[in-house]
Every structure is written in structure tokens, then in C-alpha cells.
Amino acid sequence: MKYTTQMDAAKKGIVTDEMKIVAKKENMAEKDLLELIAEGKVVIPANKNHKSLNPEGVGEGLKTKINVNLGISQDCCNIEKELEKVKLAIEMKTDAIMDLSNYGKTELLRKDVIGMSTAMIGTVPMYDAIGFNNKQLKDLTVDDFFRVVEKHGQDGVDFVTIHAGLNRETARVIKENPRLTSIVSRGGSLLFAWMELNKEENPFYEHYDRLLDICEKYDITISLGDACRPGCIEDATDAVQIKELITLGELTKRAWKRNVQVMIEGPGHMALNEIKANMLLEKKLCHGAPFYVLGPLVTDVAPGYDHITAAIGGAIAASSGADFLCYVTPAEHLRLPSIEDMKEGIIAFRIAAHAGDIAKGIKGARNWDNAMSKARADLDWEAMFSLAIDSEKARKYRAESSPEHQDTCTMCGKMCSARTMKKILNNEELNI
């Protein structure tokens, strides 16, 4: 039996090769995964043209996934450096990579990234529209917008961020409800400007069926972008954000009728006490579609440390139902991230995702922690290093401060509680 997308296959009861791989990774029965995909609660972003992909599932009952952003800009256009980041991201077990290149002809980098990446690849076609069409923003036509999406599909992009919920009605709400930071989404601001300059409706909203045609053709997952995500904690959960979210819920149902997979993107910046409610709102208003959040950053005053402020929010979001976390680096709000910035962001968000999985009871999530705890109780340093989320840093710290007795560390020495209990319970001599 033929099928067009992973969702189409699931509705027809067909277990695809990608579903078999994901079910095995997630310790989930194939029939259970099939049902979740058919309902739209799980997606497997897997473009038919991405041949090197090792597929992952995103959504209800699955491990929380993390995404890494990279790409060239006008000020930093070193393609080789960005490809180094791709290699590092894959080595560090990230689940997705978004190429957010927004300068010049981005096709060469995108094709290289897709060709070498086992992780799913996402893009924001709006970033590429000006360079691809070689036009000023105001002069772009409806055909220009969709030509870029088609090209990204041909190249093998697995999911695309499309800000289709920013329609003229949402724009009215923005104007009538002034924000502290207005629109902070790059793609959203460009679309808003195009709409204002041309006095036209958002092409991705007005011609949404045309977008669905392209996504169905290549099995691209639509990541419905939150153009109106809050850019500071003051703007969180306001009328603008919720207005767009309601529209995204409507667009989700339209996509599902066409068997197009959907994720919903969310905040942004948000105080701790608002995160849980926002996760519930998204799941309710968008019918259980997987939720993809940036952070959220829980305070606005820590430039240089925003990987920490965002990971705090990310852990709470994941524990409250978010399915996919977009990492934030220490360089957020300051510059294009370096490789070292990227590494710190990945580690912070792998911690956040895992902490969220423990809290929401993902099958097997605690096994890793229990293995580490046993290694600590046994004073088995090699086992601790092998289990550490960053083995290199753990080894480095121990090597930099070597204890007199190798079964201890330099914090407690022979007064180490693990050493004491191990010796006492084993009826060994205790010499402190």
C-alpha cells in the first residue's frame, strides 16, 4: 500500500522503516507509536530526500529532544566553521540541527549540512527568501515565498518553521496591545514588515493549502512558528501570543486533514510560574500536537549566561509537557555562537531535557541516573566518567586536583561518605 507521509502511513496502519527505528529507540510498541502519529501527537520529521537521516520521534510519551541552531550571517560567513559545528552537534548527540543561514546563497551550506547529518534538519525559508530571489523584502511576491519552500524541500529539509499564524487579524492585535519588545522573531518581523509594506495578507496564511501541497510532496513537517513569542518576561502570555496560538491550532487541524505532520513553536521568555500553564494552553489549543520551545528564558538580566536561564525554563517546560527544546547558548543576544558556546548550550539543554524526562516519567529515564549513583557508591571513577553527560570535563576536573588516596576526591579526602560507608558495610578497617 502506498503512502505520502508518515502520518498518512500511520492512518493506513503501515509501520514505516522510520517508525520501526523510533519505536526501538523509545522502547515503545510499534502499534502505540502508530496510533500517536496518526493522531498528530507524535511526528517523525523525515524528508524523503534526506538519505543520511537517523530518524527521531518528537511528541507525547517520547524522550524530550533538543535542537541546535547554526548558520552563516553577513558578519560571520565562514562556512567551514559552521560545518565544524554540525560535526560537533552530531558527536554530542543532538537530535536536530536548524540551519538559520540568512546571508547570500545558502544552498551550498544547506546541502552539505543535510548530506552529512544523521540528525533531522530544520530551516526557516523566510530567512532565505531575500537572498534566494535576489530581491528587496517589499518586492517579494507570493510565488517567491513558495519557491524557496519548494527548494528547501527538494534539498531534503525535514522540518520548516513557517510563521503562518501571523495574519492581518493578529497584526491588528499587535498594534492595539503594545509590547515592551514588540516582535522578536526574525522571520515574524520580516513577514510583518512585508505585510505592512504591501498592505497584503501573510502569504503563508492566505495560501496555506499551497504550503501543504509542498509539505505533503516531500513529507516535510511544518513547525508552525510563533512570530509573536514573548521576547521578554513582561510580554509573556499576553493577548498577542494567545491570539496567534489559537490560529496555530486551527492551522494544525487543516494540516492533519492533508496528512501533513505538525509541531507548534512556543516561547521565548517567560517567568517560572507561567511555564506550566503555557504548556497546558498549547496542548489544549493545538490538539496535542508536539510542542517545540525556545528555552524559555526565565529572566532577562543574564547576558553571557542565557544558556542557564533558558535551561532552567527548558527543564520546567519539558516536565510540564514540552516535547522539543531549542537550545540557547551563552552568546544569546550578544553574537553568533562560537563552537565553545555551542558546546555549553548543548550540555545545558541535554541536562534540561533529561531532567524533564525524569519528571514526566519517560520509560527508562531514571536508569542512567541509577547507574551513575551506583558508580558513585562503589567509588568507580571510570564508570562515573563513562556515564557523565560530559565525560571530558569530568576527567579534566579530577585530573586537575588529584587526591592523596585515589578512592576519594580532594573535597572530602578520607572523610568521604561513600568511602566510609563502603568500608563499614564491608567490615573493612576504617582509617580516617
Could you report the per-residue pLDDT of 23-39, keeping only the tens digit for each?
999 999 999 999 999 99
pLDDT tens across 52-100, in order? 999 999 999 999 999 999 987 788 778 889 899 999 999 999 999 999 8
Q: Distance (Å, rounded) from C-alpha 196 to C-alpha 430?
A: 77
Residues linked to residue 121 through DSSP beta bridges, in sequence order: 97
pLDDT > 90? residue 152:
yes
The one-character DSSP state at 269 is B
Residue 143 among known ligand-binding residues:
no
For residues 208 and 243, membership in a common domain is answered with: yes
Which residues 6+ apart lie within 8 Å of 284 measured at CB?
A: none
**Between these two residues, 101 and 222, which has the higher pLDDT value?**
222
CATH of the domain at 317: 3.20.20.540
Residue 177 among known ligand-binding residues:
no
Query: Does 420 map to a domain?
Result: yes
Domain residue limits at 414: 366-425
Query: Does 337 map to a domain?
Result: yes
Residue 227 among known ligand-binding residues:
yes
Over residues 157-176, mean pLDDT: 97
**How is 207-229 classified by DSSP, letter by letter?**
THHHHHHHHHHHTPEEEE--TT-
Q: Distance (Å, rounded) from C-alpha 4 to C-alpha 1?
A: 10
pLDDT at 49: 98
Q: Distance (Å, rounded) from C-alpha 54 to C-alpha 367?
A: 23
For residues 259 and 281, membership in a common domain is answered with: yes
pLDDT at 411: 86
Query: Does 281 map to a domain?
Result: yes
Which residues 6+ apart lie within 8 Å of 367 measured at CB?
A: none
For residues 68 and 142, membership in a common domain is answered with: yes
pLDDT at 392: 95
For residues 139 and 227, membership in a common domain is answered with: yes
pLDDT tens across 332-367, in order? 999 999 999 999 999 999 999 999 999 999 999 999
Q: Which of 359, 385, 401 is the last residue of a domain?
A: 359
Strands 120-123 and 159-162, bridge-based pairing: parallel
Contact 73, 102 (CB under 8 A): yes
pLDDT at 269: 98
Residue 215 among known ligand-binding residues:
no
Over residues 290-298, mean pLDDT: 97
For residues 372 and 279, membership in a common domain is answered with: no
Query: Does 37 map to a domain?
Result: no
Report the chain's C-alpha Rg in angstroms.
23
Residue 287 among known ligand-binding residues:
no
In the block, cell 518553521 appears at 161
Query: Does 29 map to a domain?
Result: no
pLDDT at 314: 98
Contact 128, 143 (CB under 8 A): no
pLDDT > 90? residue 101:
no
For residues 58 and 163, membership in a common domain is answered with: yes
pLDDT > 90? residue 150:
yes
Residue 292 among known ligand-binding residues:
yes
For residues 387 and 295, membership in a common domain is answered with: no
pLDDT band at 116 (very low <50, low <70, confident <90, very high): very high
Query: Does 120 map to a domain?
Result: yes
Secondary structure percentages of the chain, helix, strand, coil, to 5: 50, 10, 40
C-alpha neighbours within 13 Å on the C-beta side of residue 117: 37
Residue 228 among known ligand-binding residues:
yes
pLDDT at 430: 85
For residues 137 and 199, membership in a common domain is answered with: yes
Tell me the one-letter amino acid at 184. V
Residue 416 among known ligand-binding residues:
yes
Residue 409 among known ligand-binding residues:
yes
Over residues 187-201, mean pLDDT: 97
Q: Grid coordinates in use for 195?
A: 505585510
Q: Distance (Å, rounded) from C-alpha 113 to C-alpha 86?
A: 7
Contact 157, 110 (CB under 8 A): yes
Query: Does 1 map to a domain?
Result: no
pLDDT tens across 128-148, in order? 999 889 999 999 999 999 999
For residues 319 and 183, membership in a common domain is answered with: yes
For residues 371 and 339, membership in a common domain is answered with: no
H or E segment and range at residue 161:
strand 159-162
Residue 265 among known ligand-binding residues:
yes
pLDDT > 90? residue 413:
no
Which residues 6+ apart lie within 8 Å of 420 measured at CB?
A: 430, 432
Domain count, the chain: 2
Residue 187 among known ligand-binding residues:
yes
Phi, psi of 60 (to 5 degrees): -60, 130
SS (H, E, C) 276-328: HHHHHHHHHHCCCCCEEEECCECCCCCCCCHHHHHHHHHHHHHHCCCCEEECC
Residue 54 among known ligand-binding residues:
no
C-alpha pair distances (Å), 421 with each of 196, 362, 414, 424, 429: 70, 32, 12, 5, 11
pLDDT at 55: 98
For residues 239 and 193, membership in a common domain is answered with: yes
Contact 65, 324 (CB under 8 A): yes
